[in-house]
Amino acid sequence: MLVIVAPGQGAQSPGFLTPWLEDPTFASRLDWLATVAGIDLAHYGTVADADTIRDTKIAQPLLVATGLVAALDLFPHPADAFARIGAVAGHSVGELTAASGARVITAEQAMVLVRERGNAMAAAAATTATGMTAVLGGERDEVLAVIERHGLTAANDNGPGQIVAAGTMEQLAAFADDPPAKARLMPLSVAGAFHTTHMGPAVDRLASLARSVSTHDPRTPLISNRDGQVIHDGRDVLRRMVGQIANPVRWDLCMETMSDLGVTGILEMPPAGTLTGIAKRALKGVETFALKTPDQLDAARDFCDLHGEASQIETTPTWRMIVSPAKGTFHLSSEAIEHDILTPGATIGAVASLRDRTDITAPHGGSVVEWLVEDGDLVSPGQPLLRLHPEGNA
């Protein structure tokens, strides 16, 4: 199984777009997205220095646009992508790239949202002196306990030995004086405490905009940063991306879901390297491909051919298909048993695991055509559970 991932802020480096822009088609497509966002992305991706592109207002649109245009180079015909990709995921702002690639939102909607996301997060960061510090190594439970003791938030949980603490500069200074045992602290050059409550004003701004954004259910299973669940409701994908601005990124749980799905290959969109590096440490035996420059495209396509297979969502009609968000045991609800027609939002059951229990709803409702699982069945992330027909359709 092939999983495509999109990196988050911090993956950019000076001049990384230079070789890509030698292709006139790439340059034209980037110019279109730059026009939508109102930012000279070609300039920032070629001649701007590291301090300039570190700015949240610039870095976020630059990353999303690069990933979206590179995806069209990798898969010139989108149908080829859907026939190969088992799942997609994006780290932090990379989730916008993944959502657009999965056809939840359009590229143009993604660029407007990422522009406003970057502006709003930069404004929120300017109100209080905050920052982030990477914690490398140490015992996980102790690292989390010390982070909590200092009033900080574990804003990014990226897997074994890599957690990012975030909060005020005073809290981070105290943390540096009293670090977890056997851990190395590395202050990050970021504008603020992203994915914490300090970003609350940015959530309010994006939530207001999101009410006017039309969505579609993903064509490919999308793994959510919030809890690693596979999401197949477009509105829920959008809600989660908005809320994620002020909540921790659980990339560790995303990788756990990739493992549950049976991933054999992970390809990271440019500017690549960060997420494949994490995967090499956390997902032993899984092959990775970091797509950094256009001269790697043929090799990247070979990698996709080697690992690619259509997801269960793609090989089964996706509209009115209810899928499992996680691995666990499926428990059928009495409401679903008693009715042949389900109202929008009706609970069809729940998936229970050792970690939690997640209710499953039918967001669109419809007539029950076929149950694909039974009460008590073990299910995997993204597995179809129920097929529905819209009411009034033959």
Residue 313 clears pLDDT 70, i.e. is over it: no
User: Is residue 58 situated within a structural domain?
Assistant: yes
**Residue 378, domain extent:** 319-389
pLDDT tens digits, one per residue of 314-372: 655 556 788 899 999 999 998 888 888 898 889 999 999 988 899 999 887 888 888 99
Is 394 within the bounds of a domain?
Answer: no
φ, ψ at 328 (rounded to 5°): 165, -160
| Model pLDDT, residue 66 | 98
- Chosen domain end from 290, 313, 336: 313
Q: Is residue 252 in a domain?
A: yes
pLDDT at 392 over 70: no
Give the CA distances from residue 168 to residues 51, 114, 128, 177, 194, in Å, rounded to whole numbers and listed in that order.
Answer: 21, 25, 7, 14, 11
92 is catalytic: yes
Domain-ending residue, one of 283, 313, 343: 313
Q: What is the pLDDT of residue 92?
A: 96
212 belongs to the catalytic site: no
Q: State the pLDDT at residue 219.
A: 86
For the chain, what is the domain count? 3
**Is 232 found in the same domain as 327?**
no
- Proportion of the chain above pLDDT 90, given as a percent: 81
Q: How far is CA 391 from the centre of its chain?
A: 33
* Shared-domain flag, residues 59 and 22: yes
Catalytic one of 91, 92, 224, 307: 92
Instruction: Verify that 116 and 223 share a domain, yes or no.
Output: yes
* Listed range (230-244, 284-298, 306-320) with the worst mean pLDDT: 306-320
pLDDT in tens, 12-35: 999 999 999 999 999 999 999 999
Catalytic residue among 91, 150, 195, 198: 195
Query: At residue 393, does pLDDT exceed 50?
Result: no
pLDDT score, position 76 = 87
- 260 and 180 in one domain? no
CATH number, domain of 182, equals 3.30.70.250
Which tens digits make up the pLDDT trace of 173-228?
999 999 999 999 999 878 899 999 999 999 999 999 999 999 998 989 999 999 99
Q: How confident is the model at residue 78 (pLDDT cuts 50, 70, 90)?
A: confident
User: Can you give the CATH number for the domain in which 378 is found?
Assistant: 2.40.50.100
